[in-house]
Amino acid sequence: MAKLIKSGAFTNDDPWVVVADDEMVQEYNLISLDRWIHQQAELQPLASRGKLGLYLNSDQTADLVAEQCRNFAVISVDFPKFTDGRGYSAARLLREQYHYAGDLRAVGDVLIDQLFFMKRCGFSSYALREDQNEANALAAFSSFSQPYQAAVDNDKPLFNRVSR
């Protein structure tokens, strides 16, 4: 069982779970994009109450979701293997291009040494793989104090952020 990091701390208090396409959708379920596309009308009330989430596989781009991201209180992005970096682009695009303001969650092969990058790209919660050391994980978020690039956490690159 993964350990969830949210708002800079570990938490056991999180209701969100993935629901398969052939199961009934309930509050606090993360559904597939395919299901949303096909059942949008009937799922809209749940979404409007902030009780519906979405899960994205690593081969699904943010542009497939686009403006519809606003329907979901949580969007989880899967990292099937930590070396699969597509989720970083998905996260940045959801935040920067579609102004997604809900909880963006990294799930799958989420390891300590990628947390810093995930945070920079706009993730706000992290389903850390079970075997990872908790203290090291929390420390990893502050690996670098002034990164060069603009990203979601720092909307200006270093050359526009400080006087050099």
Partner 1 sequence: MYQYDEYDQQILNERVAQFKQQTERYFAGEIAEDEFLPLRLQNGIYVQRYAPMLRVAIPYGTLNSKQLRALAKVARDYDKGYGHFSTRQNIQFNWPELKDCPQILAELAEVQMHAVQTSGNCIRNTTTDEYAGVIAEELVDPRPYCEIIRQWSTFHPEFAFLPRKFKIAVNAVEGSDRAATFVHDIGVHIIRNEAGELGYRILIGGGLGRTPILGEVIRDFLPEQDLLTYLEAAIRVYNQFGRRDNKYKARIKILTKALGIERMKELVEAEWDRIKDSATRLTQVELDRVKQHFIDPEYAALENNPAELVNAKAENPAFARWLERNVREHKQAGYAVVTLTLKQKGTAPGDVTDAQMDAVADLSDQFSFGDLRSTHQQNLVLPNVEQRQLFTLWQQAKALGLATPSLGLLTDMICCPGGDFCALANAKSIPVAEDLQVRFDDIDFQYDIGEIDLNISGCMNACGHHHIGNIGILGVDKKGEEFYQVSLGGNSGGRGAASIGKILGPSFSRAQVPDVIAKVLQLYVEKRIDGESFLESYKRIGHDTFKETVYGKAD
Which amino acid appears at position 15 of this protein?
Answer: P
Cβ atoms < 10 Å from Cβ of 44? 13
Q: How far is CA 113 from the centre of its chain?
A: 17
Segment interacting with partner 1, rule: CB under 8 A, options 14-22, 25-33, 40-48, 146-154: 146-154
Give SS3 for 138.
helix
| Nearer CB in complex with partner 1: 73/118 | 118
Per CB under 8 A, contacts with partner 1 among 62-91 are 82-86, 88-90
HSE-up (13 A, CA, CB side) for residue 9: 4
Whose structure tokens read 């720092």?
A: 154
Q: Does 120 bind partner 1 (CB under 8 A)?
A: yes
One of 77, 121, 128, 137 touching partner 1 (CB under 8 A): 121
Q: Is 148 in the site for partner 1 (CB under 8 A)?
A: yes
* Closest of 107, 109, 36 to residue 78, by C-alpha: 107
Report the residue from 114, 124, 127, 128 that binds partner 1 according to the rule CB under 8 A: 114
Binding residue (CB under 8 A) for partner 1 from 20, 48, 133, 134: 133
Residue with tokens 């596309």: 37
Q: Identify the residue whose tokens are 């994980």.
A: 137
Q: How many residues bind partner 1 (CB under 8 A)?
A: 39
Q: How many CB atoms lie within 10 A of CB 158?
A: 13
Residue closer to partner 1 by CB (options 102, 147) is: 147
- Contacts of partner 1 in 4-63 (CB under 8 A): 61
Residues forming contacts to partner 1 in the complex (CB under 8 A) are 61, 82-86, 88-90, 92, 96-97, 111, 113-114, 116-118, 120-121, 133, 136, 143-151, 155-160, 162, 164
